[in-house]
Amino acid sequence: MGFPYEEASWSVVDGAMFMGWGSAMPGIYTAIAAGICVAVLIFGQITEMRKARQYN
Amino acid sequence: MGDIVVEEQIAELAAQVAALQESSGGGAAKVTNTMFAETFYYLTIPLMIIIHAGFLAYEMGASRLKNVLSSGVKNILAFAFMIPTFYFFGWWVYWAFPTGLPGAPGPAGISGIDYANSIAWGWGESAAAMGPNIADQASGVFFGAFALFAATTASIMSGAVIERIQTVGFVILAIVLGSFAWVVAAAWGWHADGWLVTEWGVHDFGAAGLVHAVAGFFALGVLINLGPRIGKFNADGTANHIAGHNMPLTVTGLMLIIVGFWGFLMACVIVPGEAWSWFADKPSTIYGTPITLSALSFNILMAISGGIIGAWVMTRDPFWMMSGALAGIISTASGLDIYFPALTFIIAFSAGILLKPCADFLEKRGIDDAVGAVTVHGTIGLYGVIMLGVFASGFPALQGAAGEAPTISLMGQIVGAGVFFLLGFVPGYICSLILRIVGMLRIPEGAELVGMDRVKVPAEGYPEGIPAPAVVLDPAE
Protein backbone atom coordinates (compact mmCIF):
# COMPACT_ATOMS: atom_id res chain seq x y z
CA MET A 1 0.00 0.00 0.00
CA GLY A 2 2.93 2.29 0.67
CA PHE A 3 3.70 5.30 2.77
CA PRO A 4 1.08 8.01 2.20
CA TYR A 5 3.68 10.74 1.60
CA GLU A 6 5.99 11.19 -1.38
CA GLU A 7 9.15 11.22 0.70
CA ALA A 8 9.72 8.08 2.81
CA SER A 9 10.61 10.01 5.94
CA TRP A 10 8.73 10.73 9.14
CA SER A 11 10.06 14.29 9.13
CA VAL A 12 7.56 15.25 6.42
CA VAL A 13 4.57 13.93 8.38
CA ASP A 14 2.55 16.51 10.27
CA GLY A 15 -0.93 14.96 10.20
CA ALA A 16 -2.64 11.68 9.36
CA MET A 17 -0.10 8.86 9.13
CA PHE A 18 -2.07 5.65 8.70
CA MET A 19 -2.06 3.17 5.86
CA GLY A 20 -4.20 4.26 2.96
CA TRP A 21 -4.43 7.93 3.94
CA GLY A 22 -5.06 10.10 0.90
CA SER A 23 -6.58 7.23 -1.10
CA ALA A 24 -9.97 5.52 -1.25
CA MET A 25 -8.77 2.70 0.99
CA PRO A 26 -10.04 4.02 4.35
CA GLY A 27 -13.55 4.21 2.93
CA ILE A 28 -13.25 0.76 1.38
CA TYR A 29 -11.96 -0.71 4.66
CA THR A 30 -14.80 0.91 6.55
CA ALA A 31 -17.35 -0.49 4.11
CA ILE A 32 -15.83 -3.98 4.37
CA ALA A 33 -15.78 -3.85 8.18
CA ALA A 34 -19.40 -2.73 8.28
CA GLY A 35 -20.31 -5.46 5.79
CA ILE A 36 -18.64 -8.06 8.02
CA CYS A 37 -20.72 -6.91 10.99
CA VAL A 38 -23.99 -7.17 9.03
CA ALA A 39 -23.07 -10.53 7.47
CA VAL A 40 -22.08 -11.96 10.85
CA LEU A 41 -25.39 -10.92 12.39
CA ILE A 42 -27.36 -12.51 9.54
CA PHE A 43 -25.30 -15.71 9.70
CA GLY A 44 -25.56 -15.78 13.47
CA GLN A 45 -29.34 -15.41 13.45
CA ILE A 46 -29.82 -18.14 10.83
CA THR A 47 -27.56 -20.68 12.48
CA GLU A 48 -28.77 -19.98 16.01
CA MET A 49 -32.43 -20.35 15.00
CA ARG A 50 -31.66 -23.58 13.15
CA LYS A 51 -30.12 -24.96 16.31
CA ALA A 52 -32.89 -23.65 18.56
CA ARG A 53 -35.61 -25.27 16.43
CA GLN A 54 -34.11 -28.68 17.19
CA TYR A 55 -35.43 -28.27 20.75
CA ASN A 56 -39.01 -27.49 19.72
CA MET B 1 23.52 61.30 29.81
CA GLY B 2 22.58 60.13 33.33
CA ASP B 3 19.05 59.29 32.13
CA ILE B 4 20.47 57.11 29.38
CA VAL B 5 22.61 55.16 31.84
CA VAL B 6 19.66 54.64 34.16
CA GLU B 7 17.49 53.50 31.24
CA GLU B 8 20.20 51.06 30.16
CA GLN B 9 20.45 49.74 33.71
CA ILE B 10 16.68 49.35 33.92
CA ALA B 11 16.59 47.56 30.57
CA GLU B 12 19.39 45.25 31.66
CA LEU B 13 17.61 44.58 34.94
CA ALA B 14 14.34 43.87 33.12
CA ALA B 15 16.13 41.46 30.81
CA GLN B 16 17.67 39.68 33.79
CA VAL B 17 14.26 39.43 35.52
CA ALA B 18 12.70 38.08 32.30
CA ALA B 19 15.48 35.51 31.93
CA LEU B 20 15.08 34.52 35.56
CA GLN B 21 11.31 34.14 35.17
CA GLU B 22 11.75 32.11 32.03
CA SER B 23 14.33 29.81 33.60
CA SER B 24 12.18 29.43 36.69
CA GLY B 25 9.05 28.61 34.65
CA GLY B 26 10.99 26.40 32.28
CA GLY B 27 12.50 24.57 35.22
CA ALA B 28 9.06 23.95 36.66
CA ALA B 29 7.82 22.71 33.32
CA LYS B 30 10.80 20.40 33.05
CA VAL B 31 10.18 18.97 36.50
CA THR B 32 6.52 18.47 35.63
CA ASN B 33 7.39 16.69 32.40
CA THR B 34 9.94 14.46 34.14
CA MET B 35 7.42 13.58 36.83
CA PHE B 36 4.82 12.89 34.13
CA ALA B 37 7.23 10.65 32.23
CA GLU B 38 8.13 8.71 35.36
CA THR B 39 4.47 8.37 36.37
CA PHE B 40 3.49 7.25 32.87
CA TYR B 41 5.73 4.17 33.03
CA TYR B 42 5.12 3.63 36.73
CA LEU B 43 1.39 3.23 36.01
CA THR B 44 2.01 0.72 33.25
CA ILE B 45 3.44 -1.65 35.87
CA PRO B 46 0.27 -2.26 37.93
CA LEU B 47 -1.73 -2.33 34.70
CA MET B 48 0.54 -5.11 33.46
CA ILE B 49 0.23 -6.92 36.77
CA ILE B 50 -3.47 -7.17 35.87
CA ILE B 51 -2.32 -9.36 32.96
CA HIS B 52 -0.99 -11.74 35.60
CA ALA B 53 -4.17 -11.61 37.62
CA GLY B 54 -5.89 -12.56 34.38
CA PHE B 55 -3.53 -15.40 33.54
CA LEU B 56 -3.86 -16.67 37.12
CA ALA B 57 -7.67 -16.78 36.93
CA TYR B 58 -7.62 -18.17 33.41
CA GLU B 59 -5.24 -21.02 34.21
CA MET B 60 -6.91 -21.96 37.45
CA GLY B 61 -10.31 -21.97 35.76
CA ALA B 62 -8.95 -24.13 32.93
CA SER B 63 -7.58 -26.67 35.43
CA ARG B 64 -9.58 -29.54 36.80
CA LEU B 65 -10.55 -29.40 40.46
CA LYS B 66 -7.67 -31.67 41.46
CA ASN B 67 -5.08 -29.29 39.95
CA VAL B 68 -6.55 -25.85 40.52
CA LEU B 69 -4.18 -24.61 43.23
CA SER B 70 -1.02 -26.12 41.80
CA SER B 71 -1.71 -24.28 38.54
CA GLY B 72 -1.98 -21.09 40.57
CA VAL B 73 1.22 -21.77 42.50
CA LYS B 74 3.12 -22.33 39.27
CA ASN B 75 1.87 -19.09 37.77
CA ILE B 76 2.60 -17.01 40.87
CA LEU B 77 6.06 -18.49 41.22
CA ALA B 78 6.92 -17.73 37.58
CA PHE B 79 6.14 -14.07 38.22
CA ALA B 80 8.22 -14.06 41.40
CA PHE B 81 11.31 -15.57 39.76
CA MET B 82 11.02 -13.47 36.63
CA ILE B 83 11.55 -10.15 38.39
CA PRO B 84 14.89 -10.90 40.14
CA THR B 85 16.35 -12.86 37.20
CA PHE B 86 15.45 -10.04 34.84
CA TYR B 87 17.17 -7.70 37.32
CA PHE B 88 20.23 -9.97 37.59
CA PHE B 89 20.87 -10.43 33.86
CA GLY B 90 17.81 -9.97 31.58
CA TRP B 91 18.05 -6.17 31.53
CA TRP B 92 21.75 -6.44 30.67
CA VAL B 93 21.03 -8.81 27.75
CA TYR B 94 18.59 -6.28 26.27
CA TRP B 95 21.15 -3.49 26.16
CA ALA B 96 24.17 -5.66 25.28
CA PHE B 97 23.11 -7.47 22.10
CA PRO B 98 20.98 -5.34 19.74
CA THR B 99 23.67 -5.56 17.06
CA GLY B 100 24.04 -9.30 17.63
CA LEU B 101 27.20 -11.07 18.72
CA PRO B 102 29.73 -10.01 19.96
CA GLY B 103 27.78 -7.06 21.36
CA ALA B 104 29.29 -4.15 19.44
CA PRO B 105 27.87 -0.64 19.94
CA GLY B 106 25.17 0.43 17.45
CA PRO B 107 24.68 3.75 15.62
CA ALA B 108 22.20 5.16 18.16
CA GLY B 109 24.84 4.86 20.88
CA ILE B 110 22.61 3.04 23.35
CA SER B 111 23.70 -0.54 22.89
CA GLY B 112 26.64 -2.91 23.13
CA ILE B 113 28.34 -4.74 25.96
CA ASP B 114 30.22 -1.67 27.19
CA TYR B 115 27.01 0.35 27.33
CA ALA B 116 25.16 -2.48 29.09
CA ASN B 117 28.02 -2.84 31.56
CA SER B 118 27.64 0.84 32.44
CA ILE B 119 23.90 0.78 33.19
CA ALA B 120 22.54 -2.69 33.78
CA TRP B 121 24.57 -4.58 36.39
CA GLY B 122 23.66 -4.51 40.04
CA TRP B 123 27.25 -3.85 41.17
CA GLY B 124 30.09 -1.38 40.69
CA GLU B 125 29.48 1.98 39.01
CA SER B 126 26.56 0.66 36.99
CA ALA B 127 24.62 -0.04 40.19
CA ALA B 128 23.89 3.72 40.28
CA ALA B 129 21.37 3.08 37.49
CA MET B 130 19.96 -0.02 39.19
CA GLY B 131 18.77 1.47 42.47
CA PRO B 132 17.33 4.60 44.08
CA ASN B 133 19.00 7.68 42.54
CA ILE B 134 17.63 11.22 42.75
CA ALA B 135 19.31 12.08 39.45
CA ASP B 136 17.72 9.18 37.57
CA GLN B 137 13.94 9.12 37.31
CA ALA B 138 13.80 6.79 34.32
CA SER B 139 15.84 3.60 34.80
CA GLY B 140 13.63 2.05 37.48
CA VAL B 141 10.35 2.55 35.66
CA PHE B 142 11.83 1.36 32.34
CA PHE B 143 13.22 -1.68 34.10
CA GLY B 144 9.84 -2.30 35.73
CA ALA B 145 7.93 -2.12 32.46
CA PHE B 146 10.39 -4.49 30.75
CA ALA B 147 10.36 -6.89 33.69
CA LEU B 148 6.60 -7.09 33.35
CA PHE B 149 6.94 -7.85 29.62
CA ALA B 150 9.25 -10.67 30.70
CA ALA B 151 6.75 -11.96 33.23
CA THR B 152 4.05 -11.90 30.55
CA THR B 153 6.06 -14.29 28.38
CA ALA B 154 6.33 -16.71 31.30
CA SER B 155 2.59 -16.55 31.91
CA ILE B 156 1.88 -17.27 28.25
CA MET B 157 3.88 -20.49 28.47
CA SER B 158 2.44 -21.32 31.89
CA GLY B 159 -1.11 -21.93 30.66
CA ALA B 160 -0.09 -24.37 27.96
CA VAL B 161 1.64 -26.80 30.31
CA ILE B 162 -0.82 -27.05 33.20
CA GLU B 163 -1.70 -30.23 35.05
CA ARG B 164 1.47 -32.27 34.47
CA ILE B 165 4.65 -30.18 34.73
CA GLN B 166 7.05 -30.13 37.69
CA THR B 167 7.19 -26.82 39.51
CA VAL B 168 10.97 -26.30 39.53
CA GLY B 169 11.36 -27.51 35.95
CA PHE B 170 8.69 -25.03 34.92
CA VAL B 171 10.39 -22.17 36.78
CA ILE B 172 13.70 -22.92 35.03
CA LEU B 173 11.93 -22.82 31.66
CA ALA B 174 10.20 -19.57 32.63
CA ILE B 175 13.56 -17.98 33.48
CA VAL B 176 15.11 -19.06 30.18
CA LEU B 177 12.13 -17.66 28.28
CA GLY B 178 11.49 -14.49 30.27
CA SER B 179 15.00 -13.40 31.16
CA PHE B 180 16.81 -14.55 28.03
CA ALA B 181 14.95 -15.79 24.91
CA TRP B 182 12.43 -12.97 24.48
CA VAL B 183 15.02 -10.43 25.64
CA VAL B 184 17.28 -11.39 22.74
CA ALA B 185 14.30 -11.00 20.40
CA ALA B 186 13.60 -7.56 21.91
CA ALA B 187 17.24 -6.50 21.55
CA TRP B 188 17.26 -7.52 17.88
CA GLY B 189 13.81 -6.33 16.83
CA TRP B 190 12.64 -3.79 19.41
CA HIS B 191 15.56 -1.42 19.77
CA ALA B 192 16.71 1.39 17.51
CA ASP B 193 20.07 -0.38 17.12
CA GLY B 194 18.54 -3.85 16.67
CA TRP B 195 19.94 -5.54 13.57
CA LEU B 196 16.51 -6.76 12.50
CA VAL B 197 15.40 -3.13 12.46
CA THR B 198 18.45 -1.47 10.94
CA GLU B 199 19.09 -4.15 8.31
CA TRP B 200 15.60 -5.51 7.56
CA GLY B 201 13.25 -2.72 8.61
CA VAL B 202 11.38 -5.03 10.99
CA HIS B 203 8.55 -3.19 12.74
CA ASP B 204 6.80 -4.80 15.69
CA PHE B 205 5.48 -1.91 17.75
CA GLY B 206 3.27 -3.92 20.12
CA ALA B 207 5.52 -6.99 20.32
CA ALA B 208 3.31 -9.46 18.43
CA GLY B 209 6.39 -11.38 17.39
CA LEU B 210 9.04 -10.66 19.98
CA VAL B 211 6.82 -11.28 23.02
CA HIS B 212 3.82 -13.30 21.89
CA ALA B 213 5.27 -15.46 19.11
CA VAL B 214 8.50 -16.11 21.01
CA ALA B 215 6.54 -17.20 24.10
CA GLY B 216 4.00 -19.21 22.07
CA PHE B 217 6.61 -21.19 20.16
CA PHE B 218 8.77 -21.62 23.26
CA ALA B 219 5.67 -23.29 24.73
CA LEU B 220 5.38 -25.50 21.64
CA GLY B 221 8.97 -26.68 22.09
CA VAL B 222 8.20 -27.52 25.71
CA LEU B 223 4.92 -29.28 24.88
CA ILE B 224 6.64 -31.64 22.44
CA ASN B 225 8.90 -32.92 25.22
CA LEU B 226 6.32 -32.68 27.99
CA GLY B 227 3.66 -34.74 26.23
CA PRO B 228 -0.12 -34.62 26.66
CA ARG B 229 -2.09 -35.01 29.88
CA ILE B 230 -3.18 -38.53 30.71
CA GLY B 231 -6.53 -39.10 29.02
CA LYS B 232 -6.16 -36.34 26.46
CA PHE B 233 -5.68 -38.66 23.50
CA ASN B 234 -7.22 -42.04 22.73
CA ALA B 235 -5.30 -45.02 21.38
CA ASP B 236 -6.38 -44.16 17.83
CA GLY B 237 -4.96 -40.63 18.21
CA THR B 238 -8.29 -38.86 18.52
CA ALA B 239 -8.47 -36.16 21.18
CA ASN B 240 -10.75 -35.81 24.18
CA HIS B 241 -11.80 -32.43 25.50
CA ILE B 242 -10.59 -32.00 29.07
CA ALA B 243 -12.81 -29.30 30.51
CA GLY B 244 -11.52 -26.99 33.20
CA HIS B 245 -13.48 -26.77 36.43
CA ASN B 246 -14.61 -23.15 36.05
CA MET B 247 -15.28 -21.62 32.65
CA PRO B 248 -16.59 -18.29 34.06
CA LEU B 249 -13.31 -17.84 35.96
CA THR B 250 -11.36 -18.57 32.78
CA VAL B 251 -13.36 -16.10 30.72
CA THR B 252 -13.09 -13.41 33.40
CA GLY B 253 -9.34 -14.03 33.48
CA LEU B 254 -9.14 -13.51 29.75
CA MET B 255 -10.99 -10.22 30.12
CA LEU B 256 -8.51 -9.15 32.80
CA ILE B 257 -5.67 -9.89 30.38
CA ILE B 258 -7.37 -7.56 27.90
CA VAL B 259 -7.45 -4.83 30.58
CA GLY B 260 -3.76 -5.36 31.29
CA PHE B 261 -2.93 -5.15 27.61
CA TRP B 262 -3.69 -1.44 27.71
CA GLY B 263 -0.79 -1.06 30.11
CA PHE B 264 1.39 -3.36 28.03
CA LEU B 265 0.82 -1.30 24.88
CA MET B 266 1.05 2.00 26.78
CA ALA B 267 4.51 0.91 27.93
CA CYS B 268 5.53 0.55 24.27
CA VAL B 269 5.29 4.35 23.85
CA ILE B 270 8.26 6.68 24.45
CA VAL B 271 7.05 9.91 26.01
CA PRO B 272 8.44 13.25 24.76
CA GLY B 273 10.47 16.01 26.34
CA GLU B 274 13.12 14.07 28.27
CA ALA B 275 16.82 13.68 27.59
CA TRP B 276 16.21 10.09 26.51
CA SER B 277 13.09 10.90 24.41
CA TRP B 278 13.13 10.79 20.63
CA PHE B 279 11.23 14.09 20.38
CA ALA B 280 10.75 17.22 22.47
CA ASP B 281 7.15 17.64 21.44
CA LYS B 282 5.57 14.32 20.42
CA PRO B 283 5.47 10.72 21.62
CA SER B 284 7.17 7.99 19.62
CA THR B 285 7.51 4.25 19.32
CA ILE B 286 10.60 2.48 20.56
CA TYR B 287 11.92 2.89 16.99
CA GLY B 288 11.60 6.67 17.13
CA THR B 289 8.66 6.75 14.75
CA PRO B 290 5.69 8.89 15.78
CA ILE B 291 2.65 7.48 17.59
CA THR B 292 -0.25 8.81 19.62
CA LEU B 293 -2.31 7.28 22.40
CA SER B 294 -5.32 8.12 20.23
CA ALA B 295 -3.98 5.74 17.57
CA LEU B 296 -3.80 3.04 20.22
CA SER B 297 -7.33 3.74 21.45
CA PHE B 298 -8.83 3.54 17.96
CA ASN B 299 -6.98 0.42 16.98
CA ILE B 300 -6.97 -1.64 20.19
CA LEU B 301 -10.74 -1.28 20.57
CA MET B 302 -11.36 -2.25 16.94
CA ALA B 303 -8.96 -5.19 17.28
CA ILE B 304 -10.71 -6.55 20.37
CA SER B 305 -14.07 -6.31 18.62
CA GLY B 306 -12.93 -7.89 15.37
CA GLY B 307 -11.30 -10.80 17.17
CA ILE B 308 -14.34 -11.53 19.32
CA ILE B 309 -16.71 -11.43 16.36
CA GLY B 310 -14.49 -13.68 14.24
CA ALA B 311 -14.20 -16.26 17.01
CA TRP B 312 -17.96 -16.12 17.68
CA VAL B 313 -18.69 -16.96 14.05
CA MET B 314 -16.46 -20.01 14.27
CA THR B 315 -17.12 -21.34 17.76
CA ARG B 316 -19.94 -19.63 19.79
CA ASP B 317 -17.74 -20.53 22.75
CA PRO B 318 -16.97 -17.76 25.29
CA PHE B 319 -13.51 -19.20 25.91
CA TRP B 320 -12.60 -18.88 22.25
CA MET B 321 -14.41 -15.55 21.94
CA MET B 322 -12.25 -14.00 24.64
CA SER B 323 -9.21 -15.74 23.17
CA GLY B 324 -10.35 -14.09 19.93
CA ALA B 325 -10.13 -10.71 21.66
CA LEU B 326 -6.52 -11.48 22.54
CA ALA B 327 -5.88 -12.76 19.04
CA GLY B 328 -7.39 -9.57 17.63
CA ILE B 329 -4.93 -7.42 19.54
CA ILE B 330 -1.96 -9.70 18.87
CA SER B 331 -2.68 -9.95 15.14
CA THR B 332 -2.53 -6.16 14.80
CA ALA B 333 -0.05 -5.31 17.57
CA SER B 334 2.88 -4.89 15.18
CA GLY B 335 1.19 -1.93 13.49
CA LEU B 336 -1.19 -0.44 16.06
CA ASP B 337 0.69 2.84 15.51
CA ILE B 338 -0.11 3.06 11.78
CA TYR B 339 -3.11 0.84 10.97
CA PHE B 340 -6.39 2.42 9.96
CA PRO B 341 -9.05 1.32 12.49
CA ALA B 342 -11.34 -0.40 9.98
CA LEU B 343 -8.36 -2.33 8.59
CA THR B 344 -7.47 -3.31 12.15
CA PHE B 345 -10.97 -4.68 12.56
CA ILE B 346 -10.71 -6.73 9.35
CA ILE B 347 -7.34 -8.26 10.27
CA ALA B 348 -8.50 -8.99 13.82
CA PHE B 349 -11.68 -10.59 12.48
CA SER B 350 -9.60 -12.87 10.26
CA ALA B 351 -7.46 -13.81 13.29
CA GLY B 352 -10.59 -14.70 15.23
CA ILE B 353 -11.68 -16.91 12.32
CA LEU B 354 -8.27 -18.62 12.13
CA LEU B 355 -7.95 -19.32 15.82
CA LYS B 356 -9.89 -22.54 16.34
CA PRO B 357 -8.80 -24.28 13.11
CA CYS B 358 -5.16 -23.56 14.00
CA ALA B 359 -5.66 -24.98 17.51
CA ASP B 360 -7.36 -28.06 16.05
CA PHE B 361 -4.44 -28.50 13.64
CA LEU B 362 -2.02 -28.75 16.56
CA GLU B 363 -4.28 -31.05 18.53
CA LYS B 364 -4.54 -33.46 15.60
CA ARG B 365 -0.75 -33.71 15.72
CA GLY B 366 -0.75 -34.82 19.33
CA ILE B 367 0.00 -31.47 20.97
CA ASP B 368 -1.96 -30.94 24.18
CA ASP B 369 -1.98 -27.16 24.60
CA ALA B 370 -4.45 -26.82 27.48
CA VAL B 371 -5.37 -23.18 26.79
CA GLY B 372 -4.51 -22.65 23.13
CA ALA B 373 -1.44 -20.54 23.97
CA VAL B 374 0.63 -21.74 21.01
CA THR B 375 -2.12 -20.70 18.63
CA VAL B 376 -3.27 -17.46 20.27
CA HIS B 377 0.20 -16.10 20.96
CA GLY B 378 2.51 -18.05 18.63
CA THR B 379 0.66 -18.58 15.36
CA ILE B 380 -1.37 -15.39 15.54
CA GLY B 381 1.72 -13.44 16.64
CA LEU B 382 3.59 -14.44 13.50
CA TYR B 383 0.45 -13.84 11.43
CA GLY B 384 0.40 -10.29 12.79
CA VAL B 385 4.07 -9.65 12.04
CA ILE B 386 3.61 -10.80 8.44
CA MET B 387 0.30 -8.96 7.91
CA LEU B 388 2.10 -5.71 8.68
CA GLY B 389 4.51 -6.48 5.86
CA VAL B 390 1.54 -6.95 3.51
CA PHE B 391 -0.10 -3.63 4.37
CA ALA B 392 2.69 -1.31 5.53
CA SER B 393 5.47 -1.85 3.00
CA GLY B 394 7.21 1.44 2.31
CA PHE B 395 6.68 2.98 5.75
CA PRO B 396 9.97 4.14 7.32
CA ALA B 397 10.86 1.69 10.09
CA LEU B 398 13.04 4.17 11.98
CA GLN B 399 13.29 7.89 12.50
CA GLY B 400 15.77 9.28 9.97
CA ALA B 401 16.18 11.05 6.67
CA ALA B 402 14.60 9.61 3.52
CA GLY B 403 16.82 7.02 1.96
CA GLU B 404 18.74 6.50 5.20
CA ALA B 405 16.07 4.91 7.36
CA PRO B 406 15.11 1.33 6.45
CA THR B 407 11.54 0.81 5.35
CA ILE B 408 9.03 -1.87 6.33
CA SER B 409 8.76 -4.66 3.74
CA LEU B 410 7.05 -8.02 3.43
CA MET B 411 10.41 -9.77 3.15
CA GLY B 412 11.72 -7.99 6.23
CA GLN B 413 8.65 -8.95 8.25
CA ILE B 414 8.94 -12.59 7.09
CA VAL B 415 12.59 -12.64 8.15
CA GLY B 416 11.58 -11.15 11.50
CA ALA B 417 8.83 -13.75 11.92
CA GLY B 418 11.31 -16.55 11.17
CA VAL B 419 13.80 -15.22 13.71
CA PHE B 420 11.11 -14.82 16.39
CA PHE B 421 9.92 -18.38 15.75
CA LEU B 422 13.44 -19.77 16.16
CA LEU B 423 14.21 -17.65 19.24
CA GLY B 424 11.16 -19.18 20.89
CA PHE B 425 11.04 -22.75 19.64
CA VAL B 426 14.72 -23.73 19.78
CA PRO B 427 15.46 -22.74 23.41
CA GLY B 428 12.09 -24.12 24.51
CA TYR B 429 12.72 -27.47 22.86
CA ILE B 430 16.36 -27.84 23.95
CA CYS B 431 15.85 -26.75 27.57
CA SER B 432 12.78 -28.95 28.05
CA LEU B 433 14.62 -31.88 26.47
CA ILE B 434 17.45 -31.46 28.97
CA LEU B 435 14.96 -31.23 31.83
CA ARG B 436 13.22 -34.37 30.58
CA ILE B 437 16.51 -36.25 30.44
CA VAL B 438 17.36 -35.31 34.03
CA GLY B 439 13.84 -36.10 35.23
CA MET B 440 12.76 -32.55 36.05
CA LEU B 441 10.06 -31.98 33.45
CA ARG B 442 7.01 -34.12 34.11
CA ILE B 443 5.50 -35.30 37.39
CA PRO B 444 5.15 -39.06 37.90
CA GLU B 445 2.03 -40.72 36.50
CA GLY B 446 0.57 -41.59 39.89
CA ALA B 447 0.83 -38.00 41.06
CA GLU B 448 -0.80 -36.77 37.88
CA LEU B 449 -3.70 -39.17 38.33
CA VAL B 450 -4.33 -38.31 41.96
CA GLY B 451 -4.06 -34.62 41.22
CA MET B 452 -1.21 -32.17 41.68
CA ASP B 453 -2.89 -30.23 44.48
CA ARG B 454 -2.75 -33.22 46.79
CA VAL B 455 0.93 -33.74 45.95
CA LYS B 456 2.20 -30.17 45.90
CA VAL B 457 -0.13 -27.86 47.83
CA PRO B 458 -1.01 -27.99 51.55
CA ALA B 459 -4.39 -26.37 50.94
CA GLU B 460 -7.67 -27.08 49.17
CA GLY B 461 -9.22 -24.90 46.49
CA TYR B 462 -12.77 -25.75 47.50
CA PRO B 463 -12.75 -27.34 50.97
CA GLU B 464 -16.55 -27.45 51.07
CA GLY B 465 -16.87 -28.78 47.53
CA ILE B 466 -18.68 -27.20 44.61
CA PRO B 467 -22.49 -27.14 44.89
CA ALA B 468 -24.47 -29.15 42.32
CA PRO B 469 -26.22 -27.02 39.67
CA ALA B 470 -29.62 -25.74 40.74
CA VAL B 471 -30.87 -25.71 37.16
CA VAL B 472 -31.28 -28.86 35.08
CA LEU B 473 -29.23 -28.21 31.99
CA ASP B 474 -30.12 -31.34 30.03
CA PRO B 475 -33.70 -31.11 28.71
CA ALA B 476 -33.91 -34.89 28.59
CA GLU B 477 -33.69 -35.09 32.41
Q: What is the pLDDT of residue B21?
A: 63
Side-chain-side CA neighbours of residue A48 (13 Å): 12
All domains of chain B in start order, with CATH = 36-456 (1.10.3430.10)
8 A C-beta contact, residue B287 and residue B307: no
- The number of residues making up chain A comes to 56
Cβ separation A10–B313 shorter than 8 A: no
Cβ separation A40–B345 shorter than 8 A: no
Q: Where residue A56 falls among pLDDT bands split at 50, 70, 90?
A: confident
Q: Where residue A49 falls among pLDDT bands split at 50, 70, 90?
A: very high
pLDDT one-digit tens code per residue, B131-174: 999 999 999 999 999 999 999 999 999 999 999 999 999 999 99
pLDDT one-digit tens code per residue, B63-114: 999 999 999 999 999 999 999 999 999 999 999 999 999 899 998 889 999 9
Interface test with A, best of B299, B395, B404, B472 (most A CBs within 10 A): B395
Residue type, B74: K
Three-class SS of B292-344: CHHHHHHHHHHHHHHHHHHHHHHHCCHHHHHHHHHHHHHHHHHHCCCCCHHHH
User: Which residues of B fall within a CB distance of 8 Å from A36?
Assistant: 306, 309, 345-346, 349
pLDDT one-digit tens code per residue, B263-278: 999 999 999 999 989 9
Q: What is the pLDDT of residue B471?
A: 56
pLDDT one-digit tens code per residue, B319-347: 999 999 999 999 999 999 999 999 999 99
Query: Quick check: helix, strand or coil at residue B426?
Result: helix
Q: What is the pLDDT of residue B72?
A: 96
Interface test with A, best of B302, B340, B404 (most A CBs within 10 A): B340
| Cis ω for the linkage preceding B102 (within 30 of 0) | yes
Q: Where residue B2 falls among pLDDT bands split at 50, 70, 90?
A: low
Q: What is the pLDDT of residue B477?
A: 46
The minimal CB distance from B391 to the residues A13, A19, A32 is found for A19
ipTM above 0.95, yes or no: yes
A46 close contact with B: CB closer than 8 A: no
Predicted TM-score (pTM) of this structure: 0.92
pLDDT one-digit tens code per residue, B208-261: 999 999 999 999 999 999 999 999 999 999 999 999 999 999 999 999 999 999
- State CA B24 to chain mean position distance: 41
Share of chain B above pLDDT 70, in %: 95
The residue ranges of DSSP E strands in B232-284, in sequence order, are: none
Kindly report the nearest CA distance between residue A25 and chain B, in angstroms: 9
Kindly report the nearest CA distance between residue A39 and chain B, in angstroms: 10
> What residue of A is the nearest CA neighbor of B387?
A1
Cβ separation B338–A17 shorter than 8 A: yes
A24 close contact with B: CB closer than 8 A: no
User: Which residues of A fall within a CB distance of 8 Å from B328?
Assistant: none
Q: What is the pLDDT of residue B116?
A: 97
Share of chain B above pLDDT 90, in %: 86
8 A C-beta contact, residue B352 and residue B323: no
pLDDT one-digit tens code per residue, B347-364: 999 999 999 999 999 999
Cβ separation A17–B402 shorter than 8 A: no
Kindly report the nearest CA distance between residue A15 and chain B, in angstroms: 11
pLDDT one-digit tens code per residue, B359-380: 999 999 999 999 999 999 999 9
User: Which residues of A fall within a CB distance of 8 Å from B345?
Assistant: 29, 33, 36
A20 close contact with B: CB closer than 8 A: yes
Rounded CA gap, B88 and B183, in Å? 13
Rounded CA gap, B115 and B467, in Å? 59
Q: What is the pLDDT of residue B8?
A: 82
| Listed ranges B263-267, B277-281, B464-468; the one with the highest mean pLDDT | B263-267
> What residue of B is the nearest CA neighbor of A56?
B475
